[in-house]
Amino acid sequence: MGRWDPDDARAPESAPERSSDRSDSARHARDVRITELPDRVASRTRDDPSDGRHHHLTLPRGQERELVRDQGREFQLRGSEVDLLERAGQFRVTFTDDLKHDSGNPQFDADLRSLKGQGLIAERTVTHLREGRSADVVSVTPAGRCVLDAHRDPDHDHGQVYYGGWVKPNEVWHDASLLRMVREVETELADQGAVVQRIVLDDELKAEAFRALHEARSAGQSDHEAHRTAADACDLHLDGDQFVFPDVRLEVEDRDGTERTVDLELVTKEYHRGHLSGKAAAGFRMFGGSKGGGRGGTPQDPHHIGRLLR
């Protein structure tokens, strides 16, 4: 298992605060509510209401391993291993312990060893230099992503994007914390009878938005009009002519069949008042690192956040 020592500086992508927006920014900043991220993911149980999430893959579901072929290779997979692979593939990287608690699976360690041995998942140790903390993280390999993509059920597929390979090494600590944030909201939604149909990360939203922007410009719209058209098409907030992207968007189906989205943001130490106000104006659910230290992503200093909100 390899070790990384990334410099975890993560620059927010919102536009700098403009003087003409300061009064509005201050108002939104005062309205910001940041939920503390827990120290770890809550374990799933057999009766967990949020365990209703399910994938749409033509892969084994039972307790015995079955033969799976993909691109000339053969794999042996059982249902719990497919669940682990599919869940990990929804994120660029996850903390190993978070994935373990999220699964609620007593066979997790054996499943992880099997997936690593077959080259479907990779594990490394990452060190947060400024915090002086280390943790094990996992990422689906390109081969694992190919298995997931090649075995979608065409009759029920929701278009979930799967990630493979180690990407964005400077953001690995932040990205590994997204599962914990998503899990918190999934549990809340499940208690309301709602189901998360798809998890959309910022990269996917950015690609969609800039593709729509290019199409609008090509159709002869002015830059301002094109940004508005693209923002409306992608259900994004604009700060001037800058898109405001969440870290994660959840596509949700409520108990009555209504479909909606929930946008989530993990706040870091690098945020200033303008960043927070832009995210607040977009209506994002905000989460911040745990006060206890733990593996709370890139935890914000509570005193720093307090100063921003005054």
* Each residue's pLDDT tens digit, 15-64: 333 333 334 444 554 567 889 988 888 777 545 555 544 678 999 999 99
CB 123 within 8 A of CB 1: yes
Decide if 267 is inside a domain: yes
- Same domain for 52 and 110? yes
User: What CATH number should be reported for the domain holding residue 54?
Assistant: 1.10.10.10
- Same domain for 141 and 184? no
The predicted structure's pLDDT at residue 127: 85
Average pLDDT score over residue span 282-301: 63
- Same domain for 309 and 181? yes
With H, G, I as helix, E, B as strand and everything else as coil, classify residue 127: strand
Per-residue pLDDT at 125 exceeds 60:
yes
Structural domain span for residue 186: 20-37+177-310
The predicted structure's pLDDT at residue 8: 43
Average pLDDT score over residue span 60-70: 95
| Final residue in a domain of this structure, among 140, 169, 198 | 169
Q: State pTM to two decimals.
A: 0.83
User: Count of H helices and E strands in the chain?
Assistant: 11, 13
Per-residue pLDDT at 135 exceeds 90:
yes
Q: Residues 6 or more apart from 214 whose CB is under 8 A from it?
A: none
Mean pLDDT of the chain: 84
The predicted structure's pLDDT at residue 70: 95
pLDDT band, very low/low/confident/very high, at 297 (cuts 50, 70, 90) = very low
- Same domain for 154 and 209? no
